[in-house]
């Protein structure tokens, strides 16, 4: 199921959600070349992506990971001890590996981020987003401490947003697209169904990869970062939520529901 919108009105313009989206898309073009230059894309992932083994110091210096080839020459990313490695858990949140990776993350943030921001306030939402991303990075490192493979993407931080949404608005209807062969089928589903199915898929994928987690070559898809970010969102939402904003949003939602379901005058 691919979420494309929700029936959840907002009180204020989601400025911070838009800012994060614009920053992410801007970095994709300015730093990563929009994915059109394979070498530039690979170099950005290698330089600013998070390598678990570099952060934990458990990957051997000089270990090389193939990143592609051009004109018969192979590119490789080498494990190093540069100072930038300390900051890669943050820089990696704003990088992506492909158009599909970027658009998928932006879609989930677009659908769910505005309501979570609207329940926290802008500054709190940005702090929450970054903290969840860092917890997700920590979870990935914990499960793949010696991996030399660069990890990029906003998925961990956005997973935290999904966890927060699940607790705040589980019964909100979400419009999802279900691709059946070549026929798109659009239905309305409760948020808790969409989000718990997504989380279950991440956990099952992670369990399937358990045999590779301690390997030096593990970490192709950071599913445990997704799980860690989601759990962080569940646990931290009460610390970041603005109860006054939530009460006002609830009143607005109740009024909208009453208007849509009240008997029509004949």
Closest to 232 in 3D by CA, of 170, 172, 162, 168: 162
d(CA 177, CA 259): 27
Closest to 146 in 3D by CA, of 82, 83, 57, 227: 57
Quote the pLDDT of residue 209.
67
On the question of pLDDT at 216 being above 70, the answer is no
Domains and CATH numbers, the chain: 2-259 (1.20.1540.10)
Quote the pLDDT of residue 244.
86
Torsion sign over Cα 210, 56, 226, 31: negative
* Structure confidence at residue 249 as a pLDDT band (50, 70, 90): confident
The pair of three-digit structure tokens given for residue 40, joined into one six-digit string: 């530039």
Mean pLDDT (whole number) for 145-154: 92
Q: Is the pTM of this model over 0.95?
A: no
d(CA 61, CA 232): 32
Residue 193 buriedness (CB in 10 A; 0-12 / 13-18 / 19+): middle
Q: Which residue has the higher pLDDT, 180 or 201?
A: 201
Instruction: Output the average pLDDT for the chain.
Output: 88
């Amino acid at each position: 199921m691919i979420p494309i919108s929700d029936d959840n009105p907002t009180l204020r313009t989601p400025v911070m959600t838009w800012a994060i989206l614009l920053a992410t898309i801007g970095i994709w073009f300015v730093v990563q070349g929009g994915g059109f230059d394979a070498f530039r894309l690979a170099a950005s992932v290698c330089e600013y992506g998070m390598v678990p083994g570099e952060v934990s110091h458990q990957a051997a210096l000089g270990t090389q990971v193939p990143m592609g080839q051009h004109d018969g020459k192979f590119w490789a990313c080498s494990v190093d001890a540069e100072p930038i490695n300390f900051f890669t858990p943050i820089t990696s949140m704003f990088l992506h590996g492909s158009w599909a990776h970027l658009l998928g993350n932006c879609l989930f943030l677009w659908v769910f981020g505005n309501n979570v921001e609207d329940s926290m306030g802008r500054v709190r939402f940005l702090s929450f987003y970054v903290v969840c991303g860092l917890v997700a990075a920590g979870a990935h490192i914990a499960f793949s401490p010696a991996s030399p493979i660069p990890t990029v993407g906003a998925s961990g931080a956005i997973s935290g947003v999904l966890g927060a949404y699940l607790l705040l608005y589980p019964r909100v209807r979400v419009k999802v697209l279900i691709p059946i062969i070549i026929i798109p089928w659009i239905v309305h589903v409760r948020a808790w169904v969409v989000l718990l199915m997504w989380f279950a898929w991440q956990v099952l994928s992670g369990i399937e990869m358990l045999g590779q987690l301690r390997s030096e070559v593990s970490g192709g898809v950071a599913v445990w970062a997704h799980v860690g970010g989601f759990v962080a969102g569940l646990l931290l939402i009460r610390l970041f939520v603005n109860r006054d904003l939530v009460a006002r949003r609830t009143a607005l939602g109740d009024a909208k529901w009453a208007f849509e379901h009240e008997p029509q005058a004949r």
